[in-house]
Chains A and B, each alone.
Chain A
């Protein structure tokens, strides 16, 4: 069985600076996979490359077994990869509803209105304020909208970059519960997190990215127990 997403020896450079040197990992259908690692390890760059915002320098990205490294961002989304970016990046001057409509921009089927209702069911606070500008919402509510917006394209693979960043513990818990809920509904998830403990606890598989390389990998619970991981990322000596 081929993995849904497979990244092989990826390297990405901004000019002369190599942000990602040799990253390899695979995401199986139906799994939650997380990439953990410190600031500047290359996790965000990896996601931005998968979604087509940046071109890889070398290496291969396969989605459903087919290379997508040379495709434009909109073609990659059309194939079923949605990216919920770091810092949420909502369209702050547009309403909740318009943000969700943009999430469904590539869809031409009739089900958009129904899926929008599903987002409102999942996050009732959005449904109550759908005509308000996204920029007026709290951090947690914005993260809900960002996830809802990414789901509107009906992705096969949802990539979430730091969904818990800047959120209260309660909000973080809610977002992680939502991620698990989305998985149970059949969405495959690639998660980038600095909150390694929470991310690994949730994940079927984890990869540690360090200085642009994948250095460790394993099932989430095994990595959680790994002494090197605990020392480096969980703040234990």
Chain B
């Protein structure tokens, strides 16, 4: 029982990270129908950028105070991620906006390889996982329960909290604000949105930037929780987050979050309890994806078709 609870907690933490990344996938797909395969790498770059902020920017006297270091690292990670995503949109995707859909998809794969290899080559020591500072927020809360010990770290709590708060803030922004309305309008009918005076480029850039900021913050949280960053995590978490977005229904904020948590939980529970253990945990994730897509191709919370009034 204690093991089960512990695995549920681990699953929720993993799911929270996936959900934060999946939000970016789902928003970008919603507005320009592009699966931005480079989005996972934006998360990875966010992790490295926050580490660089810690190593090269922060004065030494601040490094031991988490309430100084952590927000600045988050800002550093998110900022670099946003700049990267804006450049990516402007130079890789915008020129292809009216091209057949395969062209930007392949471009996204190319961008993803470039980013990963660039970090691996140029970030000092990045050919192997780089240890992440853990001088702060490593407090563990543990309780004796059900004949065992259940532990949850402050980094885990932070990850879950940020992910849920981020999703709620984003959902509110999209459903209530003027720019949120412009984003939804562009997603539903780009030409008519232009007739309302919506500037499509500005709306699309904003969408990329918001997704990247969330991915960058996910990079920081990943680093402090798992205590290292690695150029490989971009691809892996990109696939997880992509799957989460598809599972939840691409374009749906709620779907991305629930899909993210679902994948985190399946991975940790299947790794513990199903035959094959952790070697097969990815298999169960993709089996679930296939089952959902067979019975509900639009995903759990997706819109079945473009409804045009």
Residue A21 interfacial (CB < 8 Å): no
B198:A105 contact, CB within 8 angstroms: yes
* B-side contacts of A103, CB under 8 Å: 196
CB < 8 Å: which of A87, A89, A102 contacts B181?
Answer: A102
Binding stretch for chain A, among B4-12, B206-214, B277-285, B301-309: B301-309
Which residues of chain A in 80-125 are interfacial with respect to chain B, using CB atoms and an 8 Å cutoff? 82-83, 85, 87-94, 98, 101-103, 105-106
Report whether B194 and A91 are in contact in the complex, using a CB–CB cutoff of 8 Å: no
A134 lies within 8 A of B309 (CB): yes
List the count of A-B residue pairs having beta carbons below 8 Å apart: 75
- What is the interface residue range for chain A against chain B? 20 to 34
Once the chains bind, are A93 and B303 in contact (CB under 8 Å)?
A: yes
Of chain A, the residue at the smallest CB distance from B193 is A102
Residues of A contacting B197 with CB < 8 Å? 73-74, 77-78, 105-106, 153
Nearest chain B residue, comparing its CB with the CB of A145? B309
Which residues of the partner chain A approach B64 to less than 8 Å between Cβ atoms?
none
Chain B interface extent, by class: 20 to 34
A82: min CB distance to chain B, Å: 8
Q: Name which of B111-119, B184-192, B257-265 contacts chain A.
A: B184-192
Question: Does B99 belong to the interface (CB within 8 Å)?
Answer: no
Q: Assess whether B195 is in contact with A92, with CB atoms less than 8 Å apart.
A: no
Q: Does the CB pair B308–A92 fall under 8 Å?
A: yes
The yes or no answer to A51 lying at the interface (CB within 8 A) is yes
- State whether the Cβ of A203 lies closer than 8 Å to any Cβ in chain B: no
Please name 11 pairs of A and B residues whose Cβ atoms are closer than 8 Å in the assembled complex, sorted by A. Answer: A72-B199, A83-B195, A85-B191, A89-B309, A90-B309, A101-B181, A102-B182, A105-B178, A105-B196, A105-B198, A149-B196
Residues of B within 8 A of A (CB): 178, 181-182, 184-185, 188-189, 191-199, 303, 307-309
